[in-house]
Amino acid sequence: MGWALVGHFLDLWEGSEELTAVLRVGVTHQAGAQRMQLVFRDQLLPAARQVCPDPEQFPARAALCAAQLLGLALTRYVLRLPPARELTHGELPARLGPTVQRHLTAPGP
């Protein structure tokens, strides 16, 4: 699932100025933050709930996935760091997918 989440994330974010703008606004304004929180609640939490081995841990595990993916969004689409921009759509799931998967399904901390 980690690879699929990273791939889905990239499919949504590549070329989406709207999502980039929401992230920018969300960092400094409550309305943008609330919109990102809704995406987290409606999309990432249900996915984490399905695969998390401990039902009590799925919110924290989903938050770790969000941190990973939003960190990618910040470096790739907002800050446009060259090394983050140079990673291909094929490389990113291969590199980040295992980390996202671990956040979701690895035995507790």
- Residues in CB range of 9: below 8 A, 6 or more apart: 69, 72, 73
- pLDDT recorded at residue 66: 94
Domain count across the chain: 1
Structural tokens at position 39:
């995406």
- pLDDT recorded at residue 16: 87
Contact between 5 and 31 under an 8 Å Cβ cutoff? The reply is: no
- pLDDT recorded at residue 60: 94
One digit per residue, the tens of pLDDT, for the chain of length 109 reads 899 999 999 999 998 899 899 899 988 999 889 988 998 899 899 989 999 998 899 999 999 999 999 999 999 999 999 999 999 999 999 999 999 999 999 987 6
The boundaries of the domain holding residue 63 are 2-105
